Amino acid sequence: MAKATQKITLSSSRDIPFDKLVLSQANVRRVQAGVSIEELAVSIARRGLIQSLHVRPILDADGAETGKFEVPAGGRRYRALELLVKQKRLAKNALVPCVVGDAASDILIDEVSLAENIERAPLHPLDQFRGFKAMIDKGMTEEAVAAAFLVDVHVVKQRLRLVSVSPTLLDVYAAEEMTLEQLMAFTVADDHARQEQVWNALRNGYQKEPYNIRRALTQTTVSATDKRAFFVGVAAYEAAGGVILRDLFEDDRGGWFQDVALLDRLVAEKLRNVADDIAGEGWKWVQAAVHLPYGLTNGLRRLPGTAALTEDERATREELREESDRLVEQYEQADDIPDEVNNRLEEIDAALEAFEDRPVRYEPDDIARAGVFVSLGGNGLPKVDRGYVRPEDEPSTEAEVGSITETAESQTSEPKAPLVQRALITIGGQAAQPEEEPEEDGIKPLPDRLVAELTAHRTLALRDAVANNPHVAMTALLHKLVSDAFEHRSATGALEAHVRQVMFPAQSEDLNDCQSAKSVADRHERWGDHIPADDEALWNWLTELEDDRRMELLAHCVSYGVNALHERPNPYRGSGVSDHALKVRLSQADRLARATGLDMAQAGWRPTVGNYFGRVTKARIVEAVREGAGERAAELIGHMKKGEMAKEAERLLEDINWLPEPLRLADGEDVFEAADREGGEEALPAFLAGDDDDEDGAADTEEDQERPMAAE
């Protein structure tokens, strides 16, 4: 005979006065976690008691009910009600909904308390998002929702931001095939198709980290930390209809400007306005651009202005600079800098800045023949360099006042009122990515223009190194003089020994802002403050100069003649160089580099998409990653498209000190620290997975192929 299934009997529910309830000592919750008692009390006051208390009758010694009830499950709700009673917001005998258990039950009261807390499932974030959204859709504001649940409004905004994620990806997350962190990373972009494309590319890869998702979705945008973004500002960009992608879940450092073309247009307009304002001062020309090339002022005369420092002020400034250099060198290797030293360095910086910020005034006649360079500093503020006179505008030449030009063409000199022409402003925007074309197997030689740009960096670093090593500078100069004297080379004049600064016809955008350029310019400015303009006065000043200072000055001047540039041999052009002469030049440059201990990585050069990876073939990129980060890293990026591979290579080699061949010594003495060549998979995200059917773009852009190389 089949046994009848025992029916379950649920405990009865009844309303019990609060003053008849007692918190059970068997309640397992001892540690406060989650919503505080105060917050829970606010919730009960707003919504009432959503969940009943579980209670059991308290029996006396004879087993009879005493009229009191203990609360084994619902202790936090009890304390919240108790707080409301203390605040006199709830009557002591207010009826509380309770589920009354059997006092004679063989289920321990401790088990009831433990089960209630263990078996409660937390709300899924997706359900919280849908709940918030339903409330917003019914008319509540984000602030009201936040107040109702006692959370910061930012939490509500974060959850609501999930509405920008593709429903397909929400389903993937609900099926636990994606983490919450991965889902949140997709909120930086609203394009559902692009989101799904990125996920489909990543899902079967080695890693699907949020970092890679954000990077894939923002690769065609401009970071808010870019100098152009700082210059235009968020308000102006958004007022013009621009959209800023934001990540509410991570520190996005201001987000990403989505419309690059709009940003560049706003930059051009604002930069032109700056140039117009400066032109109103009466300058003959104003040249403005986001980036100005290194050496642009060579051959131009700088107006001194009328706010020159006195001899005492110059001496004070020099003493401050020397003290600063001495303190920095003394504590360079120290783990901690004493507070008094740090404070002193800040005082010195402030004093030196005060010297630089002195107002400079120019004579009207000088303004009428001189011009101004305007560019953007790293902080996005306009960098204005006034008072440069071109050779053709020297006093012997009549010049118009107030025109703005971007070239060195002469201005009209008709006897009319001063004209103000609109500035032709060149905005150094992002170069367009070349179409990807098939490439032959193997590693192609580096484009000539790229080699020229790289060796321009090396030449500048080598000049700085020579200038900092008077002994090497003297040796180099003596070597030149002895060679000339004993090899009987032709010479004219009283002394043919001279230093001619070599220009850089091919240079990357970052050359003017590199560490070496700043060091050379700062040193030149220091000496320029002391050197007399009169020839006889200069001779007398040099005669009285201390020997160690004369060596320093000699090193600085000799350094300007350093030429480690690579160029295409062309001995048949007037200023061309033969193959033999080029080999001698580069060999001697290596000798100077060894003598000065030059390391291009320590000099601040790092491979980036702009200065290397975006300019070479995929085979070259893989080779670089293999050398610097190991075989495993090279394998992980091998399937990527050219643009994605270049960006990932930049990240992988950021701190490796890897250098391309033109920046290494010819004998291969350069070394760099490689990453773990066997492991390290966690540091090598597969940025985008996919078939390797895409063809690599030609490394030589049209500019690389057709632009003639300027000779020495």
Q: Does some domain include residue 337? A: no
- What CATH number corresponds to the domain at position 17? 3.90.1530.10
Q: Are residues 213 and 237 in the same domain?
A: no
By percentage, how much of the chain surpasses pLDDT 90? 6
Model confidence at 454: pLDDT above 60:
yes
Range scoring the smallest mean pLDDT among 79-88, 119-128, 215-224 = 119-128
Q: What is the DSSP string of 122-138?
A: PPPHHHHHHHHHHHHHT
Q: Does some domain include residue 79? A: yes
Q: Does some domain include residue 140? A: yes
- The tokens for 253 are 């450092």
Q: Are residues 532 and 586 in the same domain?
A: yes
Q: Are residues 459 and 552 in the same domain?
A: yes
Going across the sheet that includes 244-245, the strands are 222-223, 256-257, 244-245
Cα torsion angle, 21, 27, 30, 35, sign: negative
What DSSP element (H or E) covers 523?
Answer: helix 515-528
pLDDT at 702: 38
Q: Is residue 412 very low, low, confident or very high in pLDDT (cuts 50, 70, 90)?
A: very low
Q: Are residues 285 and 249 in the same domain?
A: yes
User: What is the identity of the amino acid at 304?
Assistant: P
Classify 662 as helix, strand or coil. helix
Could you read off the pLDDT of 337-362 as tens digits, one per residue?
A: 888 888 898 899 888 888 776 767 88
Model confidence at 684: pLDDT above 50:
no
The count of other CB atoms within 10 Å of the CB of residue 338 is 10
Q: Are residues 165 and 105 in the same domain?
A: no
By percentage, how much of the chain surpasses pLDDT 70? 73
What domain range includes position 208? Answer: 125-222
Rounded to whole angstroms, the Cα distance separating 530 from 541 reads: 9
Point out the domain boundary residue: 192, 222, 252: 222
- For the CA atoms of 29, 30, 36, 42, what is the dihedral angle to 10 degrees? 60
- What CATH number corresponds to the domain at position 145? 1.10.10
Model confidence at 711: pLDDT above 90:
no
Q: Select from 572, 688, 597 the least CA-distant residue to 640.
A: 688
Q: Does some domain include residue 313? A: no
Model confidence at 216: pLDDT above 80:
no
Q: Are residues 660 and 643 in the same domain?
A: yes
pLDDT at 98: 92
Buried-exposed string 631-655: b where 16+ CB fall within 10 A, e elsewhere: ebbbebbebbbbbbbbbbbbebbee
Could you read off the pLDDT of 627-669 as tens digits, one per residue?
A: 998 888 888 888 888 888 888 899 889 888 899 988 887 665 5
Domain count, the chain: 5
Point out the domain boundary residue: 187, 222, 257: 222
Average pLDDT, the chain: 75
Q: Does some domain include residue 2? A: no
Q: Are residues 397 and 290 in the same domain?
A: yes
Q: Are residues 468 and 566 in the same domain?
A: yes
Phi/psi at 251 (5° precision):
-70, 105
Average pLDDT over residues 169-195: 82
Q: Does some domain include residue 343? A: no
Q: Does some domain include residue 347? A: no
Which range in 167-176, 195-204, 535-544, 667-676 is most confidently predicted, on average pLDDT? 167-176
Range scoring the smallest mean pLDDT among 122-136, 495-509, 664-678 = 664-678
Q: Are residues 627 and 689 in the same domain?
A: yes
The count of other CB atoms within 10 Å of the CB of residue 596 is 21
Q: Does some domain include residue 423? A: yes
Neighbouring-strand partners of residue 17: 95
Model confidence at 18: pLDDT above 90:
yes
Range scoring the smallest mean pLDDT among 9-18, 293-302, 317-326, 484-493 = 484-493
Model confidence at 686: pLDDT above 50:
no
Rounded to whole angstroms, the Cα distance separating 263 from 234 reads: 10
Rounded to whole angstroms, the Cα distance separating 647 from 650 reads: 5
- The tokens for 464 are 């700085």
Point out the domain boundary residue: 67, 99, 118: 118
Q: Are residues 666 and 525 in the same domain?
A: no
Could you read off the pLDDT of 280-300 as tens digits, one per residue?
A: 888 889 988 888 887 788 778
pLDDT at 423: 35
Range scoring the smallest mean pLDDT among 24-38, 291-305, 543-557, 681-695 = 681-695
Looking at beta carbons, which pairs linking 329-338 to residues 24 or more positions away fall under 8 Å?
A: none
Q: Is residue 17 very low, low, confident or very high in pLDDT (cuts 50, 70, 90)?
A: very high
Model confidence at 34: pLDDT above 60:
no
- Our measurement of the distance from residue 180's CA atom to the centroid of its chain's CA atoms, rounded to an integer in Å, reads 26
Q: Are residues 535 and 659 in the same domain?
A: no
Q: Are residues 296 and 427 in the same domain?
A: yes
What DSSP element (H or E) covers 622?
Answer: helix 618-629
